[in-house]
Structure 1
Amino acid sequence: METKKTAVYIDGYNLYYGRLRGTAYKWLDLVRLFEDLLRIQDGVPPVQMVKFFSAHALARFASHGEASITAQQSYHRALETLYPDRFAITLGTHSMDRTGALLPAVRPGVPYNRNDRVRVWKIEEKQTDVNLAMAMYRDAAKGLYDHVVLCSNDSDAEPVLKALREDFPDLLIGVVTPVPPPDPAKGAPRGVSASLSKHAHWTRRYLLDGELEAAQLPPRVPTKKKPIRKPEHW
Protein backbone atom coordinates (compact mmCIF):
# COMPACT_ATOMS: atom_id res chain seq x y z
CA MET A 1 0.00 0.00 0.00
CA GLU A 2 1.41 3.39 -1.01
CA THR A 3 2.27 5.76 1.84
CA LYS A 4 0.17 8.93 1.89
CA LYS A 5 2.08 12.20 1.64
CA THR A 6 1.77 15.83 2.74
CA ALA A 7 3.17 18.99 1.16
CA VAL A 8 3.30 22.38 2.89
CA TYR A 9 3.19 25.67 0.95
CA ILE A 10 4.36 28.74 2.86
CA ASP A 11 3.77 32.38 1.98
CA GLY A 12 7.04 33.69 3.40
CA TYR A 13 5.99 37.34 3.37
CA ASN A 14 2.77 36.52 5.25
CA LEU A 15 4.58 34.31 7.76
CA TYR A 16 7.21 36.96 8.48
CA TYR A 17 4.90 39.95 8.90
CA GLY A 18 2.09 37.99 10.49
CA ARG A 19 4.08 36.08 13.09
CA LEU A 20 7.90 36.37 13.05
CA ARG A 21 8.67 40.06 12.72
CA GLY A 22 9.93 41.52 15.99
CA THR A 23 10.40 38.09 17.60
CA ALA A 24 13.46 35.99 18.43
CA TYR A 25 12.18 33.09 16.30
CA LYS A 26 13.16 34.11 12.76
CA TRP A 27 15.92 31.46 12.48
CA LEU A 28 13.06 29.00 12.05
CA ASP A 29 13.35 25.38 10.95
CA LEU A 30 10.26 25.29 8.76
CA VAL A 31 10.39 21.56 8.10
CA ARG A 32 10.63 20.69 11.78
CA LEU A 33 7.91 23.18 12.69
CA PHE A 34 5.39 21.62 10.35
CA GLU A 35 6.43 18.09 11.25
CA ASP A 36 5.66 18.97 14.88
CA LEU A 37 2.40 20.76 14.08
CA LEU A 38 1.01 18.07 11.81
CA ARG A 39 2.09 15.14 13.96
CA ILE A 40 -0.75 15.98 16.36
CA GLN A 41 -3.29 16.67 13.62
CA ASP A 42 -5.63 13.68 13.26
CA GLY A 43 -5.40 11.75 10.02
CA VAL A 44 -2.62 13.84 8.47
CA PRO A 45 0.07 11.97 6.49
CA PRO A 46 3.80 12.65 7.13
CA VAL A 47 5.36 15.82 5.69
CA GLN A 48 7.29 14.93 2.55
CA MET A 49 7.92 18.42 1.14
CA VAL A 50 7.91 22.03 2.33
CA LYS A 51 7.79 24.72 -0.36
CA PHE A 52 8.63 28.30 0.58
CA PHE A 53 7.62 31.31 -1.54
CA SER A 54 9.12 34.75 -1.02
CA ALA A 55 11.27 37.41 -2.73
CA HIS A 56 14.82 38.71 -2.40
CA ALA A 57 15.36 41.29 0.33
CA LEU A 58 16.11 44.81 -0.91
CA ALA A 59 19.23 46.21 0.75
CA ARG A 60 18.30 49.89 0.33
CA PHE A 61 15.07 49.38 2.27
CA ALA A 62 16.27 46.78 4.81
CA SER A 63 17.13 47.72 8.40
CA HIS A 64 20.64 46.26 8.09
CA GLY A 65 21.34 47.08 4.45
CA GLU A 66 23.56 44.57 2.65
CA ALA A 67 23.78 42.51 5.85
CA SER A 68 20.08 41.78 5.46
CA ILE A 69 20.75 40.29 2.02
CA THR A 70 23.49 38.08 3.44
CA ALA A 71 21.29 37.03 6.36
CA GLN A 72 18.42 36.03 4.09
CA GLN A 73 20.76 34.04 1.86
CA SER A 74 22.28 32.30 4.88
CA TYR A 75 18.82 31.36 6.15
CA HIS A 76 17.74 29.92 2.81
CA ARG A 77 21.02 28.01 2.39
CA ALA A 78 20.74 26.57 5.90
CA LEU A 79 17.32 25.09 5.14
CA GLU A 80 18.39 23.80 1.73
CA THR A 81 21.50 22.24 3.28
CA LEU A 82 19.62 20.46 6.06
CA TYR A 83 16.76 19.31 3.83
CA PRO A 84 18.08 18.96 0.26
CA ASP A 85 15.20 16.69 -0.80
CA ARG A 86 12.41 18.07 1.35
CA PHE A 87 12.66 21.85 1.11
CA ALA A 88 12.37 24.09 -1.95
CA ILE A 89 12.42 27.88 -2.36
CA THR A 90 10.75 29.88 -5.11
CA LEU A 91 11.64 33.59 -5.16
CA GLY A 92 9.64 36.30 -6.87
CA THR A 93 10.53 39.97 -7.30
CA HIS A 94 9.60 43.42 -6.01
CA SER A 95 8.06 46.39 -7.75
CA MET A 96 8.38 49.96 -6.52
CA ASP A 97 6.10 52.86 -7.32
CA ARG A 98 8.28 55.95 -6.80
CA THR A 99 5.36 58.29 -7.39
CA GLY A 100 3.96 56.82 -4.19
CA ALA A 101 0.67 57.46 -2.47
CA LEU A 102 -0.49 60.26 -0.21
CA LEU A 103 -1.17 58.82 3.26
CA PRO A 104 -2.08 60.51 6.57
CA ALA A 105 1.04 61.45 8.54
CA VAL A 106 1.74 60.07 12.02
CA ARG A 107 3.25 62.78 14.20
CA PRO A 108 3.98 62.03 17.90
CA GLY A 109 1.86 64.11 20.23
CA VAL A 110 -0.20 65.59 17.40
CA PRO A 111 -3.88 64.63 16.94
CA TYR A 112 -4.72 62.66 13.82
CA ASN A 113 -5.48 64.89 10.84
CA ARG A 114 -6.55 63.15 7.66
CA ASN A 115 -5.68 66.26 5.67
CA ASP A 116 -2.05 66.21 6.87
CA ARG A 117 -0.58 63.82 4.32
CA VAL A 118 2.87 62.70 3.18
CA ARG A 119 3.91 60.91 0.02
CA VAL A 120 5.07 57.33 0.61
CA TRP A 121 6.79 55.05 -1.89
CA LYS A 122 4.84 51.87 -2.53
CA ILE A 123 6.86 48.63 -2.56
CA GLU A 124 5.12 45.38 -3.43
CA GLU A 125 6.26 41.79 -3.54
CA LYS A 126 5.40 40.37 -6.93
CA GLN A 127 4.74 36.83 -8.21
CA THR A 128 4.67 35.15 -4.79
CA ASP A 129 0.90 34.62 -4.75
CA VAL A 130 0.87 33.31 -8.31
CA ASN A 131 3.91 31.09 -7.81
CA LEU A 132 2.37 29.54 -4.71
CA ALA A 133 -1.02 29.00 -6.31
CA MET A 134 0.51 27.48 -9.44
CA ALA A 135 2.66 25.11 -7.41
CA MET A 136 -0.29 23.91 -5.33
CA TYR A 137 -2.50 23.33 -8.34
CA ARG A 138 0.15 21.70 -10.53
CA ASP A 139 1.23 19.35 -7.73
CA ALA A 140 -2.41 18.36 -7.20
CA ALA A 141 -2.89 17.80 -10.94
CA LYS A 142 0.13 15.47 -10.95
CA GLY A 143 -1.22 13.56 -7.97
CA LEU A 144 1.99 14.09 -5.99
CA TYR A 145 0.38 14.48 -2.57
CA ASP A 146 -2.70 13.31 -0.68
CA HIS A 147 -2.75 16.29 1.68
CA VAL A 148 -1.71 19.91 1.15
CA VAL A 149 -1.25 22.60 3.79
CA LEU A 150 -1.25 26.32 3.12
CA CYS A 151 0.53 28.58 5.62
CA SER A 152 -0.95 32.00 4.97
CA ASN A 153 -3.65 34.39 6.12
CA ASP A 154 -3.89 36.15 2.76
CA SER A 155 -7.32 35.95 1.16
CA ASP A 156 -5.66 36.16 -2.27
CA ALA A 157 -5.08 32.42 -1.92
CA GLU A 158 -8.81 31.70 -1.82
CA PRO A 159 -9.19 30.98 -5.58
CA VAL A 160 -6.62 28.18 -5.56
CA LEU A 161 -8.14 26.53 -2.48
CA LYS A 162 -11.59 26.75 -4.03
CA ALA A 163 -10.28 25.23 -7.28
CA LEU A 164 -8.54 22.42 -5.41
CA ARG A 165 -11.71 21.51 -3.50
CA GLU A 166 -13.75 21.48 -6.70
CA ASP A 167 -11.29 19.75 -9.03
CA PHE A 168 -9.66 17.27 -6.61
CA PRO A 169 -12.37 16.19 -4.14
CA ASP A 170 -10.17 13.48 -2.61
CA LEU A 171 -7.39 15.94 -1.72
CA LEU A 172 -7.21 16.85 1.96
CA ILE A 173 -6.57 20.58 2.55
CA GLY A 174 -5.33 22.28 5.71
CA VAL A 175 -4.64 25.93 6.56
CA VAL A 176 -2.15 27.14 9.17
CA THR A 177 -2.66 30.80 10.04
CA PRO A 178 0.65 32.56 10.86
CA VAL A 179 -0.55 34.84 13.64
CA PRO A 180 0.05 34.84 17.42
CA PRO A 181 -2.59 33.45 19.78
CA PRO A 182 -5.16 35.84 21.27
CA ASP A 183 -3.84 38.05 24.05
CA PRO A 184 -6.54 39.99 25.93
CA ALA A 185 -3.92 42.46 27.17
CA LYS A 186 -3.12 43.50 23.61
CA GLY A 187 -6.67 43.82 22.36
CA ALA A 188 -8.36 41.93 19.56
CA PRO A 189 -5.92 39.84 17.48
CA ARG A 190 -5.81 39.80 13.73
CA GLY A 191 -8.62 37.52 12.57
CA VAL A 192 -8.30 34.32 10.62
CA SER A 193 -9.22 34.65 6.95
CA ALA A 194 -12.67 33.10 6.68
CA SER A 195 -12.26 32.95 2.90
CA LEU A 196 -9.40 30.46 3.35
CA SER A 197 -10.77 28.38 6.22
CA LYS A 198 -14.10 27.79 4.46
CA HIS A 199 -12.30 25.81 1.75
CA ALA A 200 -10.12 23.81 4.17
CA HIS A 201 -10.84 20.52 5.86
CA TRP A 202 -9.09 21.83 8.97
CA THR A 203 -7.58 25.13 10.16
CA ARG A 204 -4.85 25.88 12.70
CA ARG A 205 -5.66 29.40 13.91
CA TYR A 206 -2.33 30.54 15.43
CA LEU A 207 1.30 29.63 16.12
CA LEU A 208 2.50 29.54 19.73
CA ASP A 209 5.80 30.99 20.90
CA GLY A 210 6.73 27.62 22.35
CA GLU A 211 6.18 25.91 18.99
CA LEU A 212 8.42 28.42 17.22
CA GLU A 213 11.08 28.24 19.92
CA ALA A 214 11.17 24.43 19.74
CA ALA A 215 11.75 24.54 15.97
CA GLN A 216 14.82 26.77 15.69
CA LEU A 217 17.73 25.93 13.41
CA PRO A 218 21.08 25.24 15.09
CA PRO A 219 23.30 28.33 15.41
CA ARG A 220 25.87 26.64 13.18
CA VAL A 221 24.85 24.51 10.18
CA PRO A 222 27.73 22.39 8.81
CA THR A 223 28.36 22.25 5.07
CA LYS A 224 31.07 20.66 2.91
CA LYS A 225 32.87 24.01 3.02
CA LYS A 226 32.36 26.95 5.36
CA PRO A 227 29.58 26.43 7.95
CA ILE A 228 26.47 28.59 7.86
CA ARG A 229 26.15 30.65 11.01
CA LYS A 230 23.06 32.33 12.39
CA PRO A 231 23.37 36.08 11.68
CA GLU A 232 23.73 38.25 14.78
CA HIS A 233 20.68 40.37 13.93
CA TRP A 234 18.47 37.53 12.71
Structure 2
Amino acid sequence: MPTLTSTAGKPTAAVYVDGFNLFRRALHGRGDLKWLDLELLCSHLLPTYDVGQIRYFTARVRHVEGRNPSGPQNQEAYLRALATLPSVSLHFGTFRADKRWMALSPLERDAAGEPRRVRVRKIEEKGTDVSLASHMVCDAMHDLVDTYFLLSNDSDFAEALRLVRSRARRQVGLIVPAGAAARELLRLEPDEIRVVREGNLRESQFPDRIVDELGGFSRPKAWREAGAPFRGTGPRAG
Protein backbone atom coordinates (compact mmCIF):
# COMPACT_ATOMS: atom_id res chain seq x y z
CA MET A 1 0.00 0.00 0.00
CA PRO A 2 1.58 3.31 -1.07
CA THR A 3 2.15 6.14 1.39
CA LEU A 4 -0.40 8.94 0.99
CA THR A 5 1.22 12.25 0.16
CA SER A 6 -0.25 15.69 0.79
CA THR A 7 -0.86 18.08 -2.07
CA ALA A 8 -1.31 21.01 0.32
CA GLY A 9 1.90 20.80 2.34
CA LYS A 10 0.02 19.55 5.42
CA PRO A 11 0.75 16.46 7.52
CA THR A 12 -1.32 13.51 6.33
CA ALA A 13 -3.91 11.64 8.37
CA ALA A 14 -6.17 8.61 8.18
CA VAL A 15 -9.41 8.34 10.18
CA TYR A 16 -10.91 5.04 11.35
CA VAL A 17 -14.63 5.43 12.07
CA ASP A 18 -16.45 3.07 14.41
CA GLY A 19 -19.84 3.51 12.76
CA PHE A 20 -21.99 2.00 15.52
CA ASN A 21 -20.21 3.95 18.25
CA LEU A 22 -20.63 7.18 16.30
CA PHE A 23 -24.34 6.55 15.79
CA ARG A 24 -25.01 5.45 19.37
CA ARG A 25 -23.20 8.33 21.02
CA ALA A 26 -23.77 11.26 18.67
CA LEU A 27 -26.63 10.45 16.28
CA HIS A 28 -29.14 8.28 18.15
CA GLY A 29 -32.58 9.86 17.85
CA ARG A 30 -31.17 12.66 15.67
CA GLY A 31 -32.47 11.96 12.19
CA ASP A 32 -31.70 15.54 11.24
CA LEU A 33 -27.96 14.82 11.67
CA LYS A 34 -27.63 11.25 10.34
CA TRP A 35 -27.03 12.22 6.69
CA LEU A 36 -23.42 12.81 7.66
CA ASP A 37 -20.69 13.60 5.13
CA LEU A 38 -17.55 12.13 6.70
CA GLU A 39 -15.18 14.07 4.46
CA LEU A 40 -16.78 17.36 5.52
CA LEU A 41 -16.75 16.30 9.17
CA CYS A 42 -13.03 15.49 9.03
CA SER A 43 -12.27 18.77 7.28
CA HIS A 44 -13.98 20.66 10.12
CA LEU A 45 -12.32 18.63 12.88
CA LEU A 46 -8.86 18.33 11.34
CA PRO A 47 -8.27 21.51 9.31
CA THR A 48 -4.48 21.34 9.71
CA TYR A 49 -4.31 17.82 8.21
CA ASP A 50 -4.69 16.42 4.74
CA VAL A 51 -7.08 13.52 5.42
CA GLY A 52 -6.46 11.14 2.53
CA GLN A 53 -8.09 8.00 3.93
CA ILE A 54 -11.33 7.52 5.91
CA ARG A 55 -12.22 3.95 6.74
CA TYR A 56 -15.82 3.43 7.89
CA PHE A 57 -16.58 0.23 9.81
CA THR A 58 -20.14 -0.98 10.28
CA ALA A 59 -22.50 -3.92 9.75
CA ARG A 60 -25.57 -3.97 7.57
CA VAL A 61 -28.54 -3.93 9.91
CA ARG A 62 -31.65 -5.99 9.36
CA HIS A 63 -35.17 -5.50 10.59
CA VAL A 64 -35.72 -6.65 14.15
CA GLU A 65 -39.16 -6.89 15.73
CA GLY A 66 -39.96 -3.73 17.69
CA ARG A 67 -37.48 -1.57 15.82
CA ASN A 68 -37.89 0.87 12.96
CA PRO A 69 -38.75 -1.25 9.88
CA SER A 70 -37.19 1.35 7.57
CA GLY A 71 -33.83 1.13 9.35
CA PRO A 72 -32.13 -1.19 6.82
CA GLN A 73 -33.37 0.89 3.88
CA ASN A 74 -32.20 4.13 5.52
CA GLN A 75 -28.79 2.63 6.17
CA GLU A 76 -28.43 1.45 2.57
CA ALA A 77 -29.13 4.98 1.35
CA TYR A 78 -26.49 6.32 3.71
CA LEU A 79 -23.91 3.74 2.65
CA ARG A 80 -24.59 4.66 -0.96
CA ALA A 81 -23.98 8.31 -0.09
CA LEU A 82 -20.69 7.47 1.63
CA ALA A 83 -19.59 5.51 -1.44
CA THR A 84 -19.61 8.76 -3.46
CA LEU A 85 -16.79 10.17 -1.30
CA PRO A 86 -13.36 9.52 -2.87
CA SER A 87 -11.45 9.13 0.40
CA VAL A 88 -13.99 6.85 2.13
CA SER A 89 -13.81 3.05 2.09
CA LEU A 90 -16.50 0.84 3.65
CA HIS A 91 -15.71 -2.21 5.78
CA PHE A 92 -18.43 -4.58 6.98
CA GLY A 93 -18.88 -6.91 9.90
CA THR A 94 -22.08 -8.85 10.59
CA PHE A 95 -25.29 -7.96 12.43
CA ARG A 96 -26.79 -10.52 14.78
CA ALA A 97 -30.08 -10.65 16.66
CA ASP A 98 -30.19 -13.82 18.77
CA LYS A 99 -32.60 -15.07 21.42
CA ARG A 100 -30.83 -16.23 24.57
CA TRP A 101 -31.61 -17.29 28.12
CA MET A 102 -30.00 -14.98 30.66
CA ALA A 103 -30.13 -14.58 34.43
CA LEU A 104 -32.36 -11.88 35.93
CA SER A 105 -30.79 -8.79 37.44
CA PRO A 106 -31.01 -8.32 40.41
CA LEU A 107 -30.31 -12.01 40.82
CA GLU A 108 -33.27 -14.20 41.81
CA ARG A 109 -33.12 -17.91 42.59
CA ASP A 110 -35.66 -20.66 42.03
CA ALA A 111 -36.64 -23.40 44.52
CA ALA A 112 -33.56 -25.41 43.55
CA GLY A 113 -31.29 -22.45 44.23
CA GLU A 114 -30.54 -21.87 40.56
CA PRO A 115 -30.62 -18.34 39.07
CA ARG A 116 -33.96 -17.52 37.46
CA ARG A 117 -33.55 -16.86 33.77
CA VAL A 118 -35.60 -15.11 31.10
CA ARG A 119 -35.36 -15.30 27.36
CA VAL A 120 -34.04 -12.07 25.86
CA ARG A 121 -33.17 -10.79 22.42
CA LYS A 122 -29.49 -9.82 22.17
CA ILE A 123 -28.60 -7.50 19.31
CA GLU A 124 -24.95 -7.01 18.43
CA GLU A 125 -22.55 -6.41 15.58
CA LYS A 126 -19.66 -8.78 15.14
CA GLY A 127 -16.30 -8.36 13.51
CA THR A 128 -16.19 -4.60 13.04
CA ASP A 129 -13.95 -3.87 16.05
CA VAL A 130 -11.39 -6.48 15.02
CA SER A 131 -11.46 -5.22 11.44
CA LEU A 132 -10.92 -1.60 12.49
CA ALA A 133 -8.03 -2.42 14.80
CA SER A 134 -6.42 -4.66 12.17
CA HIS A 135 -6.62 -2.07 9.42
CA MET A 136 -5.27 0.68 11.64
CA VAL A 137 -2.25 -1.34 12.77
CA CYS A 138 -1.58 -2.68 9.27
CA ASP A 139 -1.77 0.81 7.72
CA ALA A 140 0.58 2.16 10.38
CA MET A 141 3.11 -0.61 9.78
CA HIS A 142 3.06 0.31 6.09
CA ASP A 143 3.63 3.99 6.97
CA LEU A 144 0.46 5.10 5.17
CA VAL A 145 0.15 8.56 6.80
CA ASP A 146 1.66 10.73 9.52
CA THR A 147 -1.16 10.45 12.11
CA TYR A 148 -3.81 7.78 12.73
CA PHE A 149 -7.10 9.01 14.19
CA LEU A 150 -9.67 6.78 15.87
CA LEU A 151 -13.23 8.11 15.73
CA SER A 152 -14.76 6.16 18.59
CA ASN A 153 -14.96 6.19 22.35
CA ASP A 154 -14.67 2.43 22.75
CA SER A 155 -11.83 1.59 25.13
CA ASP A 156 -11.38 -1.79 23.38
CA PHE A 157 -9.30 0.07 20.79
CA ALA A 158 -6.68 1.18 23.32
CA GLU A 159 -4.34 -1.68 22.43
CA ALA A 160 -4.51 -0.92 18.71
CA LEU A 161 -3.58 2.71 19.35
CA ARG A 162 -0.77 1.61 21.63
CA LEU A 163 0.64 -0.66 18.93
CA VAL A 164 0.47 2.09 16.32
CA ARG A 165 2.54 4.30 18.58
CA SER A 166 4.97 1.75 20.09
CA ARG A 167 5.55 -0.65 17.19
CA ALA A 168 4.95 1.51 14.12
CA ARG A 169 6.21 4.62 15.91
CA ARG A 170 3.50 6.83 14.43
CA GLN A 171 1.36 9.55 15.98
CA VAL A 172 -2.15 8.69 17.15
CA GLY A 173 -5.21 10.86 17.50
CA LEU A 174 -8.61 10.44 19.14
CA ILE A 175 -11.90 11.86 17.88
CA VAL A 176 -14.58 11.47 20.57
CA PRO A 177 -18.13 11.19 19.13
CA ALA A 178 -19.64 13.13 22.06
CA GLY A 179 -18.99 13.85 25.72
CA ALA A 180 -15.91 12.85 27.69
CA ALA A 181 -13.28 10.47 26.36
CA ALA A 182 -12.95 6.99 27.88
CA ARG A 183 -10.24 6.79 30.55
CA GLU A 184 -8.46 3.88 28.88
CA LEU A 185 -8.05 5.93 25.72
CA LEU A 186 -6.94 9.04 27.59
CA ARG A 187 -4.26 7.07 29.43
CA LEU A 188 -2.52 6.64 26.10
CA GLU A 189 -2.09 10.43 25.93
CA PRO A 190 -3.02 10.76 22.24
CA ASP A 191 -1.05 13.33 20.26
CA GLU A 192 -4.31 14.97 19.18
CA ILE A 193 -7.81 14.90 20.70
CA ARG A 194 -10.98 16.26 19.10
CA VAL A 195 -14.60 16.13 20.27
CA VAL A 196 -17.48 16.03 17.79
CA ARG A 197 -19.89 18.85 18.61
CA GLU A 198 -23.44 19.20 17.34
CA GLY A 199 -22.33 22.18 15.28
CA ASN A 200 -19.74 20.00 13.52
CA LEU A 201 -22.44 17.48 12.65
CA ARG A 202 -24.88 20.13 11.46
CA GLU A 203 -22.24 21.72 9.22
CA SER A 204 -21.28 18.34 7.72
CA GLN A 205 -24.49 17.11 6.12
CA PHE A 206 -24.75 15.74 2.59
CA PRO A 207 -27.00 17.62 0.17
CA ASP A 208 -30.59 16.37 0.27
CA ARG A 209 -30.16 14.84 -3.17
CA ILE A 210 -27.04 13.06 -4.43
CA VAL A 211 -26.18 11.70 -7.87
CA ASP A 212 -23.94 8.66 -8.39
CA GLU A 213 -23.28 6.34 -11.33
CA LEU A 214 -26.68 4.69 -10.82
CA GLY A 215 -28.63 7.95 -10.83
CA GLY A 216 -30.11 10.25 -8.22
CA PHE A 217 -31.19 9.37 -4.68
CA SER A 218 -32.24 11.33 -1.63
CA ARG A 219 -31.89 11.61 2.11
CA PRO A 220 -34.30 9.11 3.72
CA LYS A 221 -37.76 10.59 4.21
CA ALA A 222 -37.75 10.10 7.98
CA TRP A 223 -34.44 11.96 8.21
CA ARG A 224 -35.72 14.80 6.01
CA GLU A 225 -38.75 15.21 8.22
CA ALA A 226 -36.61 15.27 11.38
CA GLY A 227 -35.09 18.65 10.54
CA ALA A 228 -34.78 21.38 7.97
CA PRO A 229 -33.33 19.92 4.78
CA PHE A 230 -29.98 20.97 3.34
CA ARG A 231 -30.80 21.61 -0.31
CA GLY A 232 -28.64 21.02 -3.35
CA THR A 233 -27.24 18.25 -5.51
CA GLY A 234 -24.07 16.40 -4.67
CA PRO A 235 -21.34 15.47 -7.13
CA ARG A 236 -21.25 12.27 -9.15
CA ALA A 237 -19.07 9.51 -7.85
CA GLY A 238 -15.73 8.97 -9.52
1:178 equivalent in alignment to 2:192? no
1:161-191 CA distances to partner (integer Å, 9 max, x unpaired)?
111111122x1211011114xxxxxxxxxx4
- Tell me how large the CA RMSD over aligned residues is: 2.0
Match of 1:46 among 46, 50, 53: 50
Q: Secondary structure at the match of 1:31?
A: helix
Match of 1:17 among 24, 38, 53: 24
Cα distance change of structure 1 residues 178 and 221 upon mapping to structure 2, 3 Å threshold: same
Matching residue's letter, 1:193: A
1:201 equivalent in alignment to 2:184? no
Q: Secondary structure at the match of 1:222?
A: strand
How big is the shift at 1:117? 7.6
Matching residue's letter, 1:77: R
1:87 equivalent in alignment to 2:88? yes
TM-score w.r.t. the length of structure 2 is 0.80
Paired positions, count: 206
How big is the shift at 1:208? 1.5
* Partner residue in 1 for 2:122: 122
Matching residue's letter, 2:184: S
How big is the shift at 1:114? 6.3
Q: Secondary structure at the match of 1:91?
A: strand
Q: Secondary structure at the match of 2:222?
A: coil
* Partner residue in 1 for 2:181: 192
1:37 equivalent in alignment to 2:45? yes
1:27 equivalent in alignment to 2:35? yes
Q: Secondary structure at the match of 2:162?
A: helix
TM-score w.r.t. the length of structure 1 is 0.81
Unaligned runs of 5+ in 2: 109-115, 224-238
| Counterpart contact for 1:153–1:192, Cα < 8 Å | yes
1:70 equivalent in alignment to 2:60? no
User: For the residues of structure 2 that align with 1:102 and 1:233, how far apart are their CA atoms?
Assistant: 37
Give percent identity, aligned residues only: 33
* Partner residue in 1 for 2:111: none
Q: Secondary structure at the match of 2:22?
A: helix
* Partner residue in 2 for 1:57: 61
How big is the shift at 1:61? 4.4
